[in-house]
């Protein structure tokens, strides 16, 4: 769902600067969330937009949303704009960084010398969930578009993970429920539990839980033929059910990781001709559902 901000709300938000945030460990401090909420809910229609956002993420058939904040991005400085977006994010869940060595918002730029399949690479970034090998992955992953690919590539792709699973054979679902899958390393992380290795892609104890999948495991993990085939079948169903769109400057994508998986089409060829300062740039922020909040499921 794409959510536009009414012009009168945009004007009020431009005139309402937010203070710098404070962190409690790697999480946005409760005091900052309360301060932001007090300021933002004083603007007419903010609560209406926040409720629309939450419904798009957790209501029946939902799972992702894009806030169209382009006009606000143009009107505000980078710091002021990030504070405002952080305030919107805090209406959904608690912002945090699982990477202690990085700030709350993490840059995802384009590096032509990186492996093409990585988030900062130039190739196809297949369907996945972030922090797939943590016992407590972020409930939401979010991406703020600063600059799209100036050459016109790199559309975002999303797919309903549970709908894709429902289209699989019973035998494939049984294989995906076995704890034989693994992917990636696990070190210097905060707030995502312990390393989960091996893990099941499907956890039958939680019907609304994570579909622990990354297509990268098909090429970078050793799997038996049957389990690899089941995972490959899921990958194909995710592609079959995907939606695709191009993020524009100021667009803020929020993905409920308990419902949807995400990825990105390849950037347009010729990235090496684009100055590094002009290449595609996203900022990433993770969210943790509040204790007792069943909305993520």
Residue 246 located in a structural domain: yes
Q: Is residue 232 scored above 50 in pLDDT?
A: yes
How many independent structural domains does the chain possess? 1
Look up the CATH number of the domain holding residue 153.
3.60.130.10
Range of the domain at 31: 2-289
Residue 296 located in a structural domain = no
pLDDT single digits (tens) 73-122: 999 989 999 999 999 999 999 999 999 889 999 999 999 998 888 889 99
Look at residue 101 and tell me if it is in a domain.
Answer: yes
pLDDT at site 297:
46
In a domain, 272, yes or no: yes
pLDDT in tens, 5-15: 999 999 999 99
Confidence of residue 294 (pLDDT cuts 50, 70, 90): low
Q: Is the pTM value of this prediction over 0.85? A: yes
Tell me whether residue 159 is in a domain: yes
**Domain presence at residue 127:** yes
In the chain, what's the furthest Cα-to-Cα distance? 59
Q: In 107-143, which positions are buried (b, 16+ CB within 10 angstroms) versus exposed (e)?
A: ebbbeeeeeebebbbbeebbbbbbbbbbeebbbbbbb
- Does residue 295 form part of some domain? no
In whole angstroms, give the CA distance from residue 158 to residue 143: 13
Inside any domain, residue 213 = yes
């Amino acid at each position: 769902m794409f959510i536009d901000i009414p012009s009168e709300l945009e004007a009020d938000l431009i005139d309402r600067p937010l203070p710098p945030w404070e962190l409690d460990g790697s999480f946005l401090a409760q005091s900052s969330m309360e301060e932001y909420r007090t300021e933002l809910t004083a603007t007419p229609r903010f609560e209406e937009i926040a409720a629309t956002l939450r419904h798009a993420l957790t209501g029946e058939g939902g799972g992702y949303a894009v806030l169209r904040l382009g006009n606000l991005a143009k009107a505000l400085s980078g710091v002021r704009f990030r504070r405002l977006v952080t305030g919107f994010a805090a209406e959904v869940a608690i912002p945090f960084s699982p990477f202690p060595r990085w700030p709350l918002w993490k840059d995802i730029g384009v590096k032509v010398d990186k492996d093409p399949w990585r988030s900062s690479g130039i190739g196809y970034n297949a369907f996945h969930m972030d922090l797939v090998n943590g016992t407590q992955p972020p409930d939401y992953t979010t991406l703020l578009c600063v600059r799209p690919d100036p050459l016109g590539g790199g559309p975002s792709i999303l797919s309903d993970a549970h709908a894709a699973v429902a289209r699989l054979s019973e035998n494939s679902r049984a294989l995906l429920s076995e704890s034989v899958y693994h992917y990636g390393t696990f070190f210097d992380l905060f707030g995502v539990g312990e390393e989960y290795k091996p893990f099941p892609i499907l956890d039958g104890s939680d019907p609304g839980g994570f579909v622990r999948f990354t297509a990268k495991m098909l090429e970078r993990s050793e799997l038996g033929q049957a389990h690899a085939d089941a995972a490959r079948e899921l990958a194909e169903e995710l592609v079959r059910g995907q939606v695709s769109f191009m993020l524009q400057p100021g667009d803020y994508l929020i993905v409920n990781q308990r419902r949807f998986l995400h990825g990105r089409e390849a950037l347009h060829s010729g990235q090496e001709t684009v100055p590094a300062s002009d290449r595609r740039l996203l900022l990433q922020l993770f969210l943790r559902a509040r204790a007792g909040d069943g909305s993520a499921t």
